[in-house]
Amino acid sequence: MKITSENLQVIAARAYTNESCLSTEEFLEDLGLYATINRLAKKIHKGSSKNLRLLTNHVICVTNNFEIHFVKELLLSNNNKETRVIRAVFLYLGFLAPHEYKTTELDFETLALLKEMD
């Protein structure tokens, strides 16, 4: 099923894995991290931020709370420049198999920064 703004919360609730969640507000806060990830990726792509560690930590938080296939579909469905940054972070974290990306879909500046981060 394709994720749209109308069905996002329903699909996200099915993919939610945080068993210690106590409220709807906590669920929505966890779901809202995807918007933060997109904003950070946009800033990193434009060069106005080099805080790649923060972006990486947010990706880890989202993947800890939601099933990985949902997170991939949510964050990697577009093919814009910000998605290339996010895809590079996914590759760095080992969330992408070789058949799930092409080298033209990666942001090489981000990959270089991730390598420096080690």
3-state secondary structure 44-66: HHHCCCCCHHHHHHHHHHHHHHE
Helix (H, G, I), strand (E, B) or coil at 91: helix
pLDDT at position 50, please? 82
pLDDT at position 104, please? 80
> What percent of the chain is predicted at pLDDT more than 70?
100
Mean residue pLDDT of the chain comes to: 91
Q: Is 58 left (phi over 0), alpha (psi -120 to 50) or beta?
A: alpha
Q: Which residues pair with 51 in a beta bridge?
A: none
* Spatial CB neighbours of 77, under 8 Å, sequence gap ≥ 6: 3, 83
Q: Mean pLDDT, to the nearest integer, of 53-70?
A: 95
Domain boundaries, the chain: 8-117
Q: Mean pLDDT, to the nearest integer, of 73-86?
A: 89
pLDDT at position 118, please? 78
pTM of the model: 0.90
Q: Mean pLDDT, to the nearest integer, of 43-58?
A: 92
Structure tokens at 93: 């974290």
Q: Mean pLDDT, to the nearest integer, of 44-66?
A: 93
